[in-house]
Amino acid sequence: MNVPRQKRMAVVNDITGFGRCSVAVALPIISAMKIQCCPLPTAILSAHTGFSKFFLDDYTMRMRDYMRNWEELGIDFDGICTGFLGSAKQIDIVIEFLEKFTSNHTTIIVDPVMGDYGKLYSSYTQEMCQEMKRLLNYAHVLTPNLTEACRLLDIPYPDRVLTAQELEHIAQNLCTYGPRKVVITGLSDGNNMRNFVYEQGKPYKIISMPKIGEDRSGTGDVFVSIVAANLVNGIDFAVAVEKAANFISKTIAYTVKQNIPVKYGICFEEYLTDLK
């Protein structure tokens, strides 16, 4: 007997109490878009790692027990979205999760949170980079920034603004791992930020917004949450990216106007009712 329910999405990421990032961002945004959000924690933090002090509880050893209970309960998902993963072992566990919980109606969105500005995060090892490539085999949608896209393809990070044709070549090569849809995010171009949208079998699109203020924690989490929820709701990929970019532009402008510290993230709560 099928039990009536809303659409449901699993979010594999850390739970951070202060700083507006990871699950603390994904849960309200996905919920506002009328999808049940089910977190699978990778770690519990009091505040994100951009602060000088924070409490961290690594959840790696508990993840399989957590997953096993979901399996016993017979839970399935319309979407699965993965974010920051803290070790090669966690990536391996997430692959197990995808193998157990993916069905023919599940959309898998992988955000390969590996680095930025041409450099990997200090926690990222060569082993983790290789495991992340394995994870891409399961992805339907991939949302890297340019640093992550270059690292996944083992190509140099460019010292100039890339042409649309060069970005298309990168996106096409990323699709050889498995994804059919790729958005290369946060491409700086003078006073604008671009998102390069590629979907196999369709012309690429570039979605550009004015750059406002400094980079803020959690921006990527807001972006991916909106894109993922829109895809689960059946929205076109390029439209989903544009909706996310517009929302971020609006919320960053408000946050800057309120003079909120950069580490405190984006005041997205003010506009949650605008999400559809």
Q: Is 45 exposed, middle or buried (0-12, 13-18, 19+ CB in 10 A)?
A: buried
pLDDT of res. 124: 86
Per-residue pLDDT tens digits for 62-73: 999 999 999 999
pLDDT of res. 2: 58
Residue 1 maps to a domain? no
Domain count for the chain, please give it. Answer: 1
| Residue linked to tokens 């007997």 | 1
Residue 275 maps to a domain? no
Residue 270 maps to a domain? no
Q: At 221, which CATH number?
A: 3.40.1190.20
Residue 223 maps to a domain? yes
pLDDT of res. 196: 98
- Print the domain residue range for 54: 8-260
Question: SS3 string of 51-75?
Answer: CCCCCEEECHHHHHHHHHHHHHHCC
The dihedral region occupied by 190, where left means phi > 0, alpha psi between -120 and 50, and beta the remainder, is left
Residue 272 maps to a domain? no
Tell me which H or E stretch contains 43. strand 36-47
Block means of pLDDT (10 residues each) for the chain, 276 residues, are 77 97 97 97 94 94 98 97 94 97 96 92 87 95 97 94 96 97 93 95 95 89 98 97 96 96 96 93
CB distance 141 to 231 below 8 Å: yes
